[in-house]
Amino acid sequence: MKYYILFGPPGAGKGTQAGAMVQNFHLCHISTGELLRSEIAAGTPLGLQAKSLIEAGELVPDEVVEGMIEAKFDAVKDVEGFLLDGFPRTVAQAEALDAMLAKRGEEVTAVVSIMIPDEMIHERIRHRAEIEGRADDARDEVVSNRIKTYHDKTEPLIGFYNPAGKYHEIDGTGTIETVRNRIFNLMNNF
Ligand code: ADP
């Protein structure tokens, strides 16, 4: 099984690119953001716990997302691998993922990192807010806090995966097709 991590700041285009990636490489897409938004929409206790954190631009507790990921690994069959989108987002989550995979005799295949400059993040998220109406996209100060959370808590993952040669960065600027081609060129090597 392949275990890809789709990495990058909010608004980098992870969700946009994920569809083509899972189709082309026969993967199961697991987006923790989407899973959390469906818990919120369904009004579950987990959703209630997550809502205020997400709407403040903070992360939900590690154990919550780790549990969601492991449940998916257990449930999904008949794929060639997984595309993890939005997970891991902290070094503790990356360590938990390594442990989960080790139990299965597996390991992370590669981190595919889509990079865009901070200025572009605001621009793209403002545009997405008009289309998708996500509560955490609506306010500039929440978006700024998500960017800060990304730099503080998530960016250190680069140092976690780089020494193992698993971290691969691609330029996320340009058209959707251009970025997709860069990603496919990279993934064809694994
Ligand atoms: P974005 O596209 O901005 O990166 P996501 O849809 O991936 O956003 O996630 C939305 C929000 O859900 C995050 O800002 C965070 O509050 C929460 N979230 C998603 N994944 C995780 C995770 N792995 N750990 C903690 N919180 C998470």
What does the pLDDT look like over 130-150, one tens digit per residue? Answer: 999 999 999 999 999 999 999
CA of 19 to the centre of ligand 1 (A): 18
128 is catalytic: yes
C-alpha 15 to ligand 1 mean position (Å): 12
List phi, psi (to 5°) of 7: -120, 155
Identify which of 12, 14, 137 has the alpha carbon closest to the alpha carbon of residue 84.
14
User: Which of the residues 37, 51, 89, 180 is marked catalytic?
Assistant: 89
Cα–Cα–Cα angle for 54, 10, 68, rounded to 5 degrees: 55
DSSP 8-state symbol, 85 = E
Q: With a 6 A CB cut-off, is 8 part of the ligand 1 pocket? A: no
What percent of the chain lies above the pLDDT cut of 70? 100
Distance CA 12, CA 88 (A): 16
Task: Dump strand ranges (E) for 124-181.
Answer: 167-171
Give the pLDDT score at 184.
Answer: 98
Confidence of residue 6 (pLDDT cuts 50, 70, 90): very high
Which of 36, 37, 91 has most ligand 1 atoms within 8 Å of its beta carbon, as the pocket-test mutant? 36
pLDDT at 94: 98
Band of the pLDDT at 164, cuts 50, 70, 90?
very high
Q: Is 21 in the pocket of ligand 1 (CB under 6 A)?
A: no
Ligand 1 center from residue 181 Cα (angstroms): 25
In the structure, what pLDDT confidence band is assigned to residue 19 with cuts at 50, 70 and 90? very high
Task: Check if 33 has its Cβ closer than 6 Å to any atom of ligand 1.
Answer: yes
Model pLDDT for residues 43-85, shown as the tens digit of each residue: 999 999 999 999 999 999 999 999 999 999 999 999 999 999 9
Closest CA to 125 of 113, 137, 140, 141: 137
- pLDDT value at position 5? 98
Catalytically annotated residue among 14, 51, 124, 180 = 14
